[in-house]
Amino acid sequence: YQRRVHGEVVSMPLYMGDESKRELRLVVWQHQRALFAFYVVPEQAERLEFYQELEQFIREEIKNTVQHVSENIARTQAVDETYQYVYFNHMNLALKSSLRKKGTLVGSPANSVSALEISDLMSYIETIHHDFEISPELKEVVMKTKRNEQWVAGRHSANREFYALFDAKATLADVNEEMKRINQTFFNGIFVD
């Protein structure tokens, strides 16, 4: 196992699970906020020039990709802070949610009377999901909660579902416009109208 820090070689031995049991080295390289992992043959892993060439190649080839990924991360973090939502993709079972731990409040500050319990919110989401299942032609459902009159909106398209919680001050038209904006901004229009 080799380990040198500050721009020098960092690699570790790794054995492939195939019949040859050949030894490779796992090399991890960081550029800005992105990590890259490479398998290399031990002979290459011993040469410092190899890492210099690899770094030069990566810096040239990956600039745009890292920039794009960084922008997507920043955009995703913005939605995490702005909206309370649940997103589920049935095809790859991806789940993303900004809801907090069980029993805490969502949609407004924890001490607010208008805050909605997660269990209540999940009940509304379950109802909307059921509507999507029994009526596949439905693309969007919006409900107003009974207790504090917040809005819960759900959108369904191509095995994907997105649910968002909106403030009681919003109108139905506001919720509709905001759902369209979220779709275009964060989902690149995958939820087709």
Residues 131-179 pLDDT 10s:
999 998 888 999 998 877 889 999 988 888 999 888 878 889 988 888 8
Residues 99-142 pLDDT 10s:
654 444 444 444 333 456 777 888 899 999 999 999 988 889 99
Maximum separation of any 2 CA atoms in the chain, in Å: 68
Q: What is the mean pLDDT of residues 46-62?
A: 82
Flag whether pLDDT at 82 surpasses 60: no
SS3 track for the chain:
CEECCCCCCEEEEEECCCCCCCEEEEEEEEECCEEEEEEECHHHHCCHHHHHHHHHHHHHHHHHHHHHHHHHHHHHHHHHHHCEEEEEECCCCEEEECCCCCCCEECCCCCCCCCEEHHHHHHHHHHHHHHHHHCCCCCEEEEECCCCCCEEEEEEECCEEEEEEECCCCCHHHHHHHHHHHHHHHCCCCCCC
pLDDT bracket for residue 75 (50, 70, 90)? low
